[in-house]
Structure 1
Amino acid sequence: MATVVLVRHGRSAANVAGILAGRQVGVSLDEVGRAQAVRAGERLAGVRVVEIVSSPLERCRQTAAAIAAAQPERPHRRTDRGINECDYGEWQGRALKTLAKEPLWRTVQDQPSGAAFPGGESLSAMQARAVAAIRRRDALIEAEHGPGAVWVAVSHGDIIKSLLADALGMHLDLFQRLHVDPASVSIVRYTGARPVVLGLNTHAGELAWLTPPQGKKGRPGAHAKAGDAPVGGGAGPGSTSR
């Protein structure tokens, strides 16, 4: 099973101003956001990343470039519209403090599965296309690089929250319980039995442990192949099953 590292883009000026940027072009990282992207790359420098996939929006491509620059062997980079920002329609470009006065705001907060943005997409449709894109790419990467492969997907807050909700088996109506900060790292491994969430909204710590120990034939050890959860919690990364 491959492992996907979900990275939200670094901070943008729109984030600071409280503007729902959505899919507006020209929204780039600010100085803090660029530094955050570099730090995310430094955390992943000890991991052999085979591919970096990003939303086509500039702030995600900038973050992906910083992560790629920290890799000793530059991984293949591509964009995928499946993990593009939610289409917020008429809400795009407006101030969050103004949007909070809209009747739809409470639906977005309390029953996201019933929320559809005027002139845009619903949160349910957003989740469906993001989950399909990530699972499809994950399967392709595992088929090409093997079950120990690690890849990075750089996307947006609501997209990553919806992916984590799916991996955790949570109804979309609960996804507002999750929080994903700029340039934070969350980690999901899709096994044959179930998705396993290895990290959520992390900000610090090296991630070299994501690269699995190699078996005799250059494949991950037997413990990494099993889809079953270790009863009792297991021995942690780098340990082998007996």
Structure 2
Amino acid sequence: MATLILVRHGRSTANTEGVLAGWTPDVHLDERGAAQAAGLPARLAAVPLVAAVSSPLERCRETLAPLLEARPALTVETDERIGECHYGDWSGRKLKELAQEPMMEVVQHHPSAVVFPGGESMRAMQARAVDAVRDWNARVDLEHGDGAAFLMCSHGDIIKSLVADALGMHLDLFQRIHVEPCSVTAIRYTRSRPFLLRLGDTGELGALVPPTQGPQEKAADDDAVVGGGAGAP
């Protein structure tokens, strides 16, 4: 079956401002995010991609633009099922402010129980993303045969939930996973089980430097950044 290349969008203006963007319109890549996207064609040069799928949000489409320019034969289709989590009333708010919300503790430790006010549940988010991957796996297998590779450009929480599914992890454990902006995560699907081949690979080690208090302004060092965060400074 197919190999899925998951790319998180490059660093966005919302990431650097410490804002939970969700489906807020007109959130774009910042200068660093654009540079990350520009480096994507070289990083994926050896991978013969047969298809590209994108979240409909601007930051994902902007991330794929250099890759599509480098590969004129590669077209991109959008799929709302891999769009960002619908954070509802939390969308557009500062992460520093959201850290004080009582529900944040549930988001961190029991995400399968979370339903965002005015938005969706995290279980629904994962279910739609997994359904999208399974549908695209079947389509790629049918059109290109076993062993083909295709790409999806999506968001931090979506990618983390897909990794959790591939590893057979309960959604309540998915906050233990982290993916950097413009990182590459690869999952090879077979008839019996998926294999995680890469996780959050950026090709550099700056993200391993112990973090200082940045724009995310997390409530605690052991909390995950909802939405994925801005990455290494």
State the TM bucket, normalised to the shorter chain: 0.7 to 0.9
Query: What residue number does 2:189 align with?
Result: 190
Query: What residue number does 1:204 align with?
Result: 203
Question: Secondary structure of the residue that 2:152 maps to in structure 1?
Answer: strand
Query: What residue number does 2:54 align with?
Result: 54
CA RMSD of aligned residues (A): 1.1
Question: Secondary structure of the residue that 2:181 maps to in structure 1?
Answer: coil
Give the whole-Å Cα distance in 2 for the aligned partners of 1:196 and 1:59: 28
Query: What stretches of structure 1 move > 4 A for 4+ residues in a row?
Result: none
Give the whole-Å Cα distance in 1 for the aligned partners of 2:199 and 2:187: 9
1:107 to 2:106 alignment: yes
Query: What residue number does 1:91 align with?
Result: 90
Alignment of 1:154-165 (within 5 A): 154-165=153-164
Contact 1:165 1:175 in 2 (8 A): yes
Q: Aligned-pair distance for 1:65?
A: 1.6
Q: Aligned-pair distance for 1:116?
A: 0.8
Structure 1: gaps of 5 or more residues:
206-242
Q: Larger deviation: 120-129 or 137-146?
A: 137-146
Give the whole-Å Cα distance in 1 for the aligned partners of 2:41 and 2:176: 27
TM-score, with length taken from structure 2:
0.85
Query: What residue number does 1:227 align with?
Result: none
Q: Aligned-pair distance for 1:39?
A: 1.5
Contact 1:42 1:70 in 2 (8 A): no
Question: Secondary structure of the residue that 1:120 maps to in structure 2?
Answer: coil
Question: Share of identical aligned residues, percent?
Answer: 57
Q: Aligned-pair distance for 1:77?
A: 0.9
Question: Secondary structure of the residue that 1:180 maps to in structure 2?
Answer: coil
Alignment of 1:1-242 (within 5 A): 1-71=1-71, 74-204=73-203
Give the whole-Å Cα distance in 2 for the aligned partners of 1:94 and 1:18: 9
Q: 2:58 is matched by which residue type in structure 1? A: E
Contact 1:40 1:185 in 2 (8 A): no
Aligned length: 204
Question: Secondary structure of the residue that 2:7 maps to in structure 1?
Answer: strand
Question: Secondary structure of the residue that 2:39 maps to in structure 1?
Answer: helix
Question: Secondary structure of the residue that 2:16 maps to in structure 1?
Answer: helix
Q: Aligned-pair distance for 1:41?
A: 2.1
Give the whole-Å Cα distance in 1 for the aligned partners of 2:179 and 2:35: 17
Structure 2: gaps of 5 or more residues:
205-233
Contact 1:45 1:70 in 2 (8 A): no
Give the whole-Å Cα distance in 2 for the aligned partners of 1:34 and 1:93: 21
Q: Larger deviation: 171-180 or 61-70?
A: 61-70
Query: What residue number does 2:215 align with?
Result: none
Q: 2:46 is matched by which residue type in structure 1? A: G
Rg larger in structure: 1
Q: Larger deviation: 178-187 or 73-82?
A: 73-82
Give the whole-Å Cα distance in 2 for the aligned partners of 1:64 and 1:192: 29
Query: What residue number does 1:210 align with?
Result: none
Q: Aligned-pair distance for 1:44?
A: 0.7
Q: 1:2 is matched by which residue type in structure 2? A: A
Give the whole-Å Cα distance in 2 for the aligned partners of 1:58 and 1:45: 24
Give the whole-Å Cα distance in 2 for the aligned partners of 1:188 and 1:56: 22
Q: Which has the higher contact order (CA 8 A, sep 6+)?
A: 2
Q: Deviations over 1:145-189 (max 9, x none)?
A: 111211100000000000000001100000000001100000001
Give the whole-Å Cα distance in 2 for the aligned partners of 1:65 and 1:50: 16
Q: Deviations over 1:187-211 (max 9, x none)?
A: 0011100011110000118xxxxxx
Give the whole-Å Cα distance in 2 for the aligned partners of 1:74 and 1:3: 19
